[in-house]
Structure 1
């Protein structure tokens, strides 16, 4: 790897120097961030500019141009609201809801770069997705993230949607702004300085847009249609109370995320149109109209996410499928079957891919021996490591070390990011093949 033209105390000429600069800037995961910056930069000068932007407090995702959520990379740019990892709860619930329907119509309001609609579009066969936002800047990246043919509608909330969608939406999802105005000064500096306030703050209690959604959604939802809204746990009780006052809903409920902070509020319209007739004003709404049960994602989705996160975090540990299954109180067969259904590969294949990705980074950025790297990423046999590496990438670890850096140096960063991700399930081209 080359160095910058003018080495000095402020120039990240080497991997170690880059890590040290990021660490001094307060980056907790400096090693991982350095690798991402090196992969994203097309040359040393661009890497220096990226490092300087990160040191100045800009979001890492804004700097490298992508955000990784639920195992997928999405485009994001400066000034966009960066999707948070907590939104994985909404994504997984949305996917589960969409899979219950044939060719569902899905809308993401207040979409930003459309992380929920994008992943539903990628993972639910036949889904017809739409996204709307009042800010035209993130819609540029939303179009790149969404599948071909998706509807992208500039405008405020649901008012942006075409009237042809009225009464046809099977699933309406949203991460509206929900920060109370009084808490603006408590927000992280990078959010206050690098994200639009309109994507964060919504009135005195943060529920201004939530109430609007709850009131307006029934006009757009099909019979049996579902509304899912992300918010903070403290906002769920007043939001559920507001939902209970909207008589067009047959049921309302909520579910809390594993982080203890994030909650989804779910509202569903009656399955039959006749059942949605207005309740006479003199008859009070039933007291059980608001329930704290969300019949959304299957319970084991949470367990699958724990397994995936454990593999991501501790890929060097000597895991096998039975050990992973016991850690979440599932059988090995059930874990393998459900993991493949949700993520497209077995837990073992996912583990091998994570190990090879880490090995690729060490081969590119360090001079450690292949044997040392083999052990560091979790393989107990050099032969198994070399065989698996070649199955995934089509070349041996030693050949990748010699040729990989040369190839990457000549590639645009968007292409380099794709080719440095291992091909799964023996899809590597044979030597000399296309």
Structure 2
């Protein structure tokens, strides 16, 4: 079994997959229904299981996202169904979700809005970890919305389909925490995007104008309308936007405590701001 796993990992490595050994372990675990911690105890597999793993490894070598092959992704403490048509949540975004959850502390029944919810990852995490929160989410893309609908079923989250630029007028001035993982890749950066994202994630969730900040400007305007005075906003951005993304908020004069935050790798990852007026 170990020989087979090494051969599969070598194939993924040759294909340019960033984490070949880890991906093979996850695919083997998925097919066998065995936890990752017990894989080393598996001496051999049936020919049918080996063929199933082989087929998945071949598709992963074609740079199909791992999560599309397993049909699920973990985000903080919740499991999400994912597949073609929805942005696969990244581990880095868990930090933004954690900030939103911490920002609810001390507020009775906090009102939380997740714009550009995609798979529903942030909204589901907040609903899971802040049971008293009233969580609202919106997604414009019909395919992504269908995935969010599936993931948020039974959570109590108010999920709507629509453009974040016009969403939740009925909540104007009442929101405590606004969180968003908007599209932020400049159109000119097309070639630099990882194949898994560029060819399989919805472009609506990736690209945002020539400078990558079009959605951030819309978010600033929407945040100023939806948040109560003193309410807070958090938004993910590209690692090269550690100054330009917060600058969108500083420039309007409507925000205080505008800060940028780094991810675990030390890269600029998300901004936070407080509505001052």
Band the TM-score falls in, shorter-chain normalisation: 0.7 to 0.9
Q: Secondary structure at the match of 1:99?
A: coil
Matching of residue 101 in structure 1 with residue 91 in structure 2: no
The question of whether the paired residues in 2 share the 8 Å contact of 1:132 and 1:158 is answered with no
TM superposition shift of 1:189: 1.8
| CA distance, structure 2, for counterparts of residue 35 and residue 49 of structure 1 | 14
Q: Secondary structure at the match of 1:95?
A: helix
| CA distance, structure 2, for counterparts of residue 180 and residue 124 of structure 1 | 34
The question of whether the paired residues in 2 share the 8 Å contact of 1:134 and 1:156 is answered with yes
Equivalent residue for 1:32? Answer: 22
TM-score (norm 2): 0.83
| CA distance, structure 2, for counterparts of residue 32 and residue 191 of structure 1 | 19
- Equivalent positions of 1:31-180 (< 5 A) are 31-41=21-31, 44=49, 46-146=52-152, 148-161=155-168, 163-180=169-186
| CA distance, structure 1, for counterparts of residue 29 and residue 163 of structure 2 | 36
| CA distance, structure 2, for counterparts of residue 235 and residue 105 of structure 1 | 28
Larger relative strand fraction:
2
Matching of residue 262 in structure 1 with residue 251 in structure 2: no
Q: Which runs of 5+ in 2 are unaligned?
A: 33-47
Q: Secondary structure at the match of 1:172?
A: strand
Equivalent residue for 2:35? Answer: none
- Judging changes above 3 Å, is the alpha-carbon distance between structure 1 residues 223 and 92 closer, same or farther for their aligned structure 2 residues? same
- Judging changes above 3 Å, is the alpha-carbon distance between structure 1 residues 40 and 231 closer, same or farther for their aligned structure 2 residues? same
- Judging changes above 3 Å, is the alpha-carbon distance between structure 1 residues 35 and 259 closer, same or farther for their aligned structure 2 residues? closer
- Judging changes above 3 Å, is the alpha-carbon distance between structure 1 residues 246 and 56 closer, same or farther for their aligned structure 2 residues? same
| CA distance, structure 1, for counterparts of residue 83 and residue 239 of structure 2 | 29
Equivalent residue for 1:190? Answer: 196
The question of whether the paired residues in 1 share the 8 Å contact of 2:111 and 2:134 is answered with yes
The question of whether the paired residues in 2 share the 8 Å contact of 1:50 and 1:64 is answered with no
The question of whether the paired residues in 2 share the 8 Å contact of 1:177 and 1:200 is answered with yes
| CA distance, structure 2, for counterparts of residue 153 and residue 166 of structure 1 | 16
TM-score (norm 1): 0.55
- Judging changes above 3 Å, is the alpha-carbon distance between structure 1 residues 18 and 255 closer, same or farther for their aligned structure 2 residues? closer
| CA distance, structure 1, for counterparts of residue 158 and residue 248 of structure 2 | 29
Q: Which runs of 5+ in 1 are unaligned?
A: 2-13, 271-275, 277-434
The question of whether the paired residues in 1 share the 8 Å contact of 2:176 and 2:231 is answered with yes
Which protein shows a greater Rg?
1
The question of whether the paired residues in 2 share the 8 Å contact of 1:86 and 1:262 is answered with no
The question of whether the paired residues in 2 share the 8 Å contact of 1:104 and 1:171 is answered with yes
Aligned-residue CA RMSD in angstroms?
Answer: 2.5
Q: Secondary structure at the match of 2:138?
A: strand
- Judging changes above 3 Å, is the alpha-carbon distance between structure 1 residues 92 and 61 closer, same or farther for their aligned structure 2 residues? same
TM superposition shift of 1:170: 1.0
